[in-house]
Structure 1
Amino acid sequence: MTARTLPARRVFGVIGGLGPLAGADVLFKLIQASPVRTDAEHFDVVFEQHPFRNASASRAATTERKLYIFDMIRDFEKRGVTTVLLPCFLSHTFMGELQENVSVQIVDMVDALHEYVMRCFPSVRRVGVLTSDYIRDERLFERYFGAPEFEVLHPARSAVGGVDFVTEAVYGDGGIKSGRFEGKPVELLREACLDLIAQGAELILPGMTEIGLVVDRIGTLCVPIVDSNLVYAQYAVAGQCVSRERGFKVGVVGGVGPAATVDFMQKLVRSTPATRDQEHIKLLVEQNPQIPDRTDNLLGDGPDPTVSLYATCKKLEAGDVDIIAIPCNTAHAFVERIQPYLNVPIVNMLTVSVEYLRAAFPDLREVGLLATTGTIMSGVYRKALEAHGLRQVVPSDGLQARVMNAIYGEHGVKAGFLAGECIGDVTAAVDELSECGVEVILLGCTELPLLLPEGKMYSGGGGVVNLVDPTEILARRCVAYARGEIGLANALIDSAKDACTR
């Protein structure tokens, strides 16, 4: 659990309908709790209510409730809501499932009560709770008021007929949900409170939001009874909430090319130390093969892919990704154009690859580069290498034409071929670079690792050559960010630095 910095202007969203009267009560108390002097100083609040007709706590009803709330929150997100209030204790039994899958903050009602008790009643140890059987069975309050610091008490059932006073007061004929705030419902709640006091409760907490509508009518008791709805509203307004840290999510600009995207995803999975599915990294892929060819544009006769790349990144950004990976070397010639307009850093595979070379081969002076002609002509790798004191060596024109054929040719890797002519073309280029004395070669097109696996390769002319795969390095760097091994601030700094040095 880590606290996140709250935006300067919060927009509250209150989900109504779970209990319509209780939701309206929380809305009223939220406005009441706002420390303002004029109407203009109030928070922006979105209150939406679609009556939730299945109010029972069966498993089917709970699933229906989960999906109803999730859809409401996603709608709130689109409308600029930053902070969601969920005025329903039953829904807090699965709040973790919701928070994990949305980007806005959901204010925790039971956490609000726990903070209030710790602050205002520091000596209290025995807490009585007025709630439903379902919440009692789910042990919601025990999760927050656990032993040995606290003991949670629940009212006993009536000796006559086994009546649950609290459930009857809220859901029974003529109960609070039907709009009755006097008479029998209040009497039943008072009976439940007296039972809790007899058990030794030092404080009573309502665990159903409907009770907030009548809490001031229960009458004087020898222990305090809290207005949970008011405490919840005050807690939200005070901004004391601690957000659950959502899972780190990597966004991938896919389709450039499609097979290279799958290769990157496999390497991301392979690089993640995990023993079960849930330990792997969240991944959002926007597979867009219709992004115009980057090489065609750089060579001067193809459409500009800038808008398509930017639009794809913005879709990933809207999907709450933390970083963006583009498993296409040539596309990085366009990164400096779009990064300043994004709120999420692009992990620059060229930069991280050159950093890897410098660390792995400290005495290195020359680096061979196998890449598209567009990548070579753009100078993106040359500049990145020179910034680390390294000289780029590329194939001769004739061999570069064969590298392009291995990638784009009729029998090239983009056409789905992984053997035959394309292998011969690319190994010929490796041989030439090796004969020139190159000992390390960057596979600077994401399709090339599909033909030449990373590692040592014995070429025909110059001996042993180290093949380095930027896709693999990019995958490892993304895993390092996701696991917190490298601070995300580094990605922001690096993306800004890359844009400034080109």
Structure 2
Amino acid sequence: MSKKPFAATHAGKAPGKHRYGVVGGLGVIAGADLLLKMIGAAQRRPEMRDVGIAFEQRHFDSGPSIADESYNPSRRKFYVYDTLKEMEARGIDTALVPCFVSHTFLREITPELDIRVISLFDALRDWLAREHPALRTIGVLTSTYVQKSGIFERELGARYAIVYPDAAVQSDKLMRAIYGPSGIRAGHHGGECVELLAEACHCLVTRGAQLIVPGLSEVPVLIDSLRSLVAVPVVDSNLVYAEYALGCEAAPPLREFKLGVVGGVGPAATVDFMHKVVRLTGAARDQDHIKMMVEQNPQIPDRTANLIGSGADPTIALLATCKQLEAGGAHAVAIPCNTAHAFVDRIQPYLSIPIVNMLSEVVQHIRAQMPAVSRVGLLATSGTVASGVYREVAEAAGLQLLVPDAAVQELIMQAIYGERGVKAGFTSGLCSEHLATAIRHLAEQGAEVIILGCTELPLIAIDVAVGQAVALLDPTEILAARCVALASESAAIPRHDSGKMPPLA
């Protein structure tokens, strides 16, 4: 299956109406410099003077402070991810990460977020194209780690030739200016560190640089002192980043479709549903499969007991389970339980994500794949039969629904709930005999196709001859196929402002 990313949206928001967050702590001085320049940029635009900007800075120990070739960014990854998730939880929708090292791994993080993260490289690319359209060669001042990562070549190399200081200048001048005892990170804003940076810039000019881009967010802190010492323009990358973030409507985060599954109704049926989703997904590798989040809640009160007797109402438990899935980032919910669909209309209005209606999908499947069929048999729990939910959707589609008489319906209940029924872990023997009897019974009444309308019924083994005598439909399989199709189609479906899918047709 060729999956498309699921794009969240901030539709309807004008530039400057976002709630902004700046991830600080990655370089204390650099983060403060970006914040100051972002506030200044907002003040220069009357329509944005009341914009909200949150600055999140906590103690962050990244291990060895110098970002050399052997630097391990793992702790930085966790820090950035945790900070962005906390911002997301506070309702911040647009974030800036003023750190070039962090941009080497942002693509690993952003698919797991609903917050929009503005790219430093998008800002630079936009500014360079507008301000220097004839530019061909740029010099880059960045850490050895970022240089070796190749991110500047990947992000800007298609349009510009990228040059760096030679190895000796890189280590003895540039890295010392940032990380050395008299460097910017040690709190020095003049003297030796400015001279060292100027020497690194001179090296870039001799290598053909027409303009210098700081790939270290500390360099712009000294931009005014540095520019007077360099023969070519030096970009204030922090200012460019701030102005771009405030003025653009950059692409929203791209999210892979995530399916929420209400599990435990029943437990074996949940596993069967997931197995069918996996089997029906055309995948060549693990990453091609659909994200699924399962809330396994076997304590949801029995649906049939409520519909035909005095059993506890499962509505709130079903809604709470769906809410957990919604909170976990699911874009749609599947409930692999036919009887539970008697409660779907009650809970759908309280969700901002759609429940994929298994019953409607089954009837649509019959109409699309079996257009000549007019008489449909239903084998299901007494609760499903009594609720009339299948009858409503079948008759609306012009189908006559046939159900067993009382004696045969009791056999179906025994096959499902009996001591040797499928919910007790049996899939052959007495439950198979009862199911075969019920299938023959509906076939004799004229059923042209029979819906196995309890998600446990397809788990029961039946004789091959019985299965060939009349077409049997597995609603779990049909629901799984629809969810796989929905994941594939998701990028083309319009979204609400919440970033969730609209109700399914």
Which category describes the TM-score, using the shorter chain as reference length? over 0.9
Of 445, 466, 470, the residue aligned with 1:465 is 470
Q: Does 2:482 match 1:477?
A: yes
Q: Say which SS state the counterpart of residue 284 (structure 1) adopts.
A: strand
In structure 2, what is the equivalent of residue 138 of structure 1?
149
Distance 1:494 1:362, change over 3 A: farther
Counterparts of 1:378 and 1:218, CA distance in 2: 77
Q: Does 2:183 match 1:175?
A: yes
Q: Say which SS state the counterpart of residue 292 (structure 2) adopts.
A: strand
2:227–2:234 Cα contact (<8 Å) kept: no
In structure 2, what is the equivalent of residue 150 of structure 1?
160
Q: Does 2:398 match 1:381?
A: no
Q: Which runs of 4+ in 1 moved over 6 A?
A: 36-40
2:136–2:161 Cα contact (<8 Å) kept: yes
Distance 1:56 1:266, change over 3 A: farther
Of 230, 234, 246, the residue aligned with 2:239 is 230
1:126–1:151 Cα contact (<8 Å) kept: yes
Deviations 1:137-160 (A, max 9, x none): 00111111124x21111112347x
Counterparts of 2:248 and 2:74, CA distance in 1: 30
Counterparts of 1:485 and 1:390, CA distance in 2: 30
1:442–1:467 Cα contact (<8 Å) kept: yes
Q: Say which SS state the counterpart of residue 227 (structure 2) adopts.
A: coil
Deviations 1:413-455 (A, max 9, x none): 11111111111111110010011121200111111111158xx
Q: Does 2:26 match 1:5?
A: no
Q: Say which SS state the counterpart of residue 112 (structure 2) adopts.
A: coil
In structure 1, what is the equivalent of residue 60 of structure 2?
52
Counterparts of 2:490 and 2:216, CA distance in 1: 43
Aligned ranges for residues 42-441 of structure 1 at < 5 Å? 42-53=50-61, 54=63, 55-57=65-67, 61-147=72-158, 149-158=159-168, 163-220=171-228, 221-441=230-450
Number of aligned residues: 489
The residue type paired with residue 81 of structure 2 is F
Q: Say which SS state the counterpart of residue 113 (structure 2) adopts.
A: coil
The residue type paired with residue 489 of structure 2 is G
Q: Say which SS state the counterpart of residue 459 (structure 1) adopts.
A: helix
Counterparts of 1:142 and 1:129, CA distance in 2: 11
Counterparts of 1:112 and 1:37, CA distance in 2: 18
Counterparts of 1:18 and 1:467, CA distance in 2: 60
Counterparts of 1:180 and 1:466, CA distance in 2: 80
The residue type paired with residue 213 of structure 2 is L
Q: What is the CA distance between 1:38 and its match in structure 2?
A: 7.6
The residue type paired with residue 155 of structure 1 is P
Q: What is the CA distance between 1:61 and its match in structure 2?
A: 3.9
Distance 1:3 1:331, change over 3 A: closer
Q: Say which SS state the counterpart of residue 246 (structure 1) adopts.
A: strand
Counterparts of 1:110 and 1:40, CA distance in 2: 23
Distance 1:335 1:164, change over 3 A: farther
In structure 2, what is the equivalent of residue 500 of structure 1?
none
Deviations 1:162-215 (A, max 9, x none): 744221111011110111111111111111111111111121111011111111
Greater relative contact order (CA < 8 Å, ≥ 6 in sequence): 2
2:42–2:48 Cα contact (<8 Å) kept: no
Distance 1:278 1:400, change over 3 A: same
Deviations 1:349-401 (A, max 9, x none): 11111111101110110110011111111111111111111111011111001
1:439–1:464 Cα contact (<8 Å) kept: no
The residue type paired with residue 231 of structure 2 is C
1:441–1:466 Cα contact (<8 Å) kept: yes
Deviates more, 1:3-12 or 1:402-411: 3-12
Counterparts of 1:363 and 1:378, CA distance in 2: 27
Counterparts of 2:478 and 2:245, CA distance in 1: 43
2:304–2:381 Cα contact (<8 Å) kept: yes
> TM-score of the superposition, structure 2-length normalised?
0.92
Deviations 1:199-246 (A, max 9, x none): 111211110111111112103333221111111111111233224522
Q: Say which SS state the counterpart of residue 139 (structure 2) adopts.
A: strand
Counterparts of 1:350 and 1:368, CA distance in 2: 14
2:6–2:490 Cα contact (<8 Å) kept: no
Distance 1:189 1:196, change over 3 A: same
2:7–2:491 Cα contact (<8 Å) kept: no
Counterparts of 1:216 and 1:412, CA distance in 2: 80
Q: Say which SS state the counterpart of residue 438 (structure 2) adopts.
A: helix
Q: What is the CA distance between 1:60 and its match in structure 2?
A: 7.0
Identity of aligned residues (%): 49
Q: What is the CA distance between 1:298 and its match in structure 2?
A: 1.1
Distance 1:102 1:2, change over 3 A: closer
1:306–1:334 Cα contact (<8 Å) kept: yes
Q: Say which SS state the counterpart of residue 353 (structure 2) adopts.
A: coil
> TM-score of the superposition, structure 1-length normalised?
0.92
> Which runs of no fewer than 5 residues in structure 1 stay unpaired?
498-502
Counterparts of 2:45 and 2:117, CA distance in 1: 27
Counterparts of 1:140 and 1:40, CA distance in 2: 32
